[in-house]
Chains A and B, each alone.
Chain A
Amino acid sequence: MKSRPASGIVDLAPTSSGWGVYARSLGNFWKVYRGSRFGVLGLAMLCFFVVEACVASSLAPYPPNQVSQDVLRPPSPMHLLGTNEVGQDILSQVLIGSQASLMVGFAASAISALVGSLVGLIAGYYGGLRDDALMRLTDIFLVIPALPLMVVLAAVIGPSLFSVILAIGVVGWTGTARVVRSQTLSVKELAFIESSRASGGSDFYILFNHVLPNVAPVIFSNTVLVIANAVLSEAVLTFLGLGNPNMISWGQMLQFAFTSGSVTSAWWYVVPPGLSIMLVVLAFSLTGYSLDEVFNPRVRKI
């Protein structure tokens, strides 16, 4: 990605002070992040969607599952975004649908972040045989096409919200693992790690109190970008019929629009869920890239 130079400088030089540094540098971070217009825009969109998802059920003008006689009606004052093939209100469904997208996005990327960070930390910190084995495994996962792999995994576990989360999470950790590994490699060479080891710190202590705090910002910005991908993948997997058909989500709405053959007659059925997916993905991407610029020295330098 093209990088916009941050307007200020956060002192992000690795420190030995562990987790304590975060409490002090939060305000400092915001000063830099504020400088990125797109980053602020993304974050604002993100807050909007999170709040919207939380209060969706009271915002929705109709119960989202309530069927009616008004089948496939175009937008009208009664139904602001029209109705679907069984007369459900599309606006209500779009509002509720944000919950599934965000839930899957957060849960799946939590799995990816956990697996990716563990693999990256262990590979980078210990090096040698463990590094070789883990990185070969990462390479293998990188080459196998992601969507077919997710499809097969979700199909075998059986269509449900859980299988979609698991399939996305298990497939999406490779990028995080690579970034975390390279960051760990540079952090572990620093003097304070050596002094910690000299004063008797165990590997676990050093990893958790010295390496992880210095790698955490990179994990964080990377994970926000992973969420964007997870939201997209959720839509695709649900559209292909791998989600829970009884749960309202944007991908599920589009699947019903497609399988019921309403695509060519009812644009109001197709456009709102797709635009919503696009905006949420955009929000996470903008936020993620801006965080990356602040946190990831590799991106910032360019």
Chain B
Amino acid sequence: MDTEYVVKKVAQTLATIFFVLTFNFFLFRILPGNPFALLFRGPGFSREAVNLLNAQFGLDQPVWVQYIRYLENTAKGNLGLSYTTRAPVANMLFPRLMNSLVLLLTANVISIVIGIVLGIVSAWRRGGRTDLTLSASTLLLYSMPTFWLGLVLLFAGVVYFGLPVAGMTTLGANLTNWFDYVGDLLRHMVLPGLTLVLGLVGQYVLVMKGALLDVFTEDYMITARAKGISTQKLLWNHAMRNATLPIITLIAINLGLTVGGAIQTETVFSWPGIGLLTYQALLQRDYPMLQGCFLVIAIAVILANFVADLTYGYLDPRVRTG
């Protein structure tokens, strides 16, 4: 791959992360009722004690010194203490992030596979009944808020199917057997997974269809068809190959959206991921936790975008050379 391209992408990624860090620092310092001030307001704090604590936390320093310190601390993985549990925020974030990834990756892979298949169908039979049905359902699904879709599925799941609707595993269940554990996990994953898939799949159908339609009008497709190549070969060897690139970019662009859907789904189904953590931090006004959640979510999405950019650069010779 072209070094210049990689360097440019690395620089962009670092700039974005830096922006998020700076934003996080300043945003949470203009809070109405600065969190530190709130902590020290108890009657037991004398003026001297407050000054001492201010000095200890570096709050008597100018803003830029605090800023540098904040960057240092964040780089060391020190994200402060949660207001509610008094435990380090960072320790709580990473297990939750993993739980989120389990749900998100599963749902995303399923959505992408279904999206690609349906996208091919509707692009190939453009204007046909399948295409129209798909377009209409896509638009309807897009118009629903994901959390509402979750609430409806939660209702249906409890009332008609008896599926578990909260958490990742059954509380108090004795899941010593690895097999039982996975079974229980999968049962818990059905409803939140379905919510996410329904929320996401429309995007992928549209993306896939759009990419293929662009390819279908290219001259080399007409040439290939004129040469008498079978429909299947035409689709796989000519159309799909060239449609992969835009799909990768669009999947990357959709990542941010996916995360938004995950926050809503985890909230509805109490899935113990970083989205639920964000919601709980919101409810409890636990600002260090909220700040930590935002930071981790944002950096995860930024890094995923970076990987997508590199993949794109690797696959597309035009990008590679310049």
Contacts and interface: CB of A to CB of B under 8 A. Distances in A.
A297 interface: no
A293 B154 CA distance: 38
Contact of B135 (A2, A239, A263, A270): A2
Contacts of B263: 147-148, 151, 240
A232 interface: yes
A263 B155 contact: yes
A9 interface: no
B297 interface: yes
Nearest to B141: A278
A136 B15 CA distance: 9
Interface in B291-322: 291, 293-294, 297-298, 301-302, 305
Contacts of B291: 152
A293 to B, nearest CB: 14
Interface in B157-174: 158-159, 165
Contacts of B28: 156
A143 B302 contact: yes
B148 A274 contact: yes
Given A145-B301, A254-B147, A282-B140, A151 B155 contact: no
B282 A242 contact: yes
A214 B20 CA distance: 35
A188 to B, nearest CB: 26
A258 B152 CA distance: 11
Nearest to B156: A267
Interface in B162-208: 165, 206
A302 B165 CA distance: 45
Contacts of B32: 158
B142 A239 contact: no
Contacts of A279: 143
Interface in A105-141: 136, 139-140
A254 B148 contact: yes
Contacts of B165: 264
Given A140-B15, A140-B16, A236-B264, A151 B148 contact: no
A149 to B, nearest CB: 7
A143 B256 contact: yes
A14 to B, nearest CB: 26
B301 A144 contact: yes
Size class of the contact patch on chain A: 35 or more
Contacts of A267: 155
A277 B155 contact: no
Contact of A277 (B15, B145, B257, B290): B145
A151 B297 CA distance: 12
B211 interface: no
Interface in A236-280: 236, 239-242, 251, 254, 257-258, 263-264, 267, 270-271, 273-274, 277-279
Interface in B225-273: 253, 255-257, 259-260, 263-264, 267-268
A139 B19 CA distance: 11
A242 B257 CA distance: 19
B68 interface: no
Given A144-B16, A239-B147, A156 B260 contact: no
Contacts of B255: 145
B12 interface: yes
Contacts of B146: 236
Contact of B148 (A147, A158, A264, A277): A277
B302 A147 contact: no
B279 interface: yes
A148 B293 contact: yes
A203 to B, nearest CB: 29
A263 B151 contact: yes
A176 interface: no
A153 interface: yes
A276 B215 CA distance: 38
Chain B CB within 10 A, most for which of A149, A152, A242, A286: A152
Contacts of A235: 145, 147-148
9 contacts: A143-B305, A144-B301, A145-B298, A147-B263, A148-B260, A257-B151, A264-B154, A274-B151, A278-B145
Interface of A: 1-2, 136, 139-140, 142-149, 151-153, 155-156, 158, 228, 232, 235-236, 239-242, 251, 254, 257-258, 263-264, 267, 270-271, 273-274, 277-279, 281-282, 285-286
Interface of B: 12, 15-16, 19-20, 27-28, 30-32, 126, 135, 139-140, 142-148, 151-152, 154-155, 158-159, 165, 206, 209, 253, 255-257, 259-260, 263-264, 267-268, 278-279, 282-283, 285, 287, 290-291, 293-294, 297-298, 301-302, 305
Given A139-B12, A151-B294, A267-B155, 10 more contacts: A142-B256, A146-B257, A147-B260, A151-B278, A156-B28, A236-B264, A241-B283, A270-B152, A274-B148, A277-B145
- By Cβ-Cβ distance, the 6 closest A-B pairs, closest first, are A147-B260, A145-B256, A274-B148, A281-B143, A282-B143, A145-B259
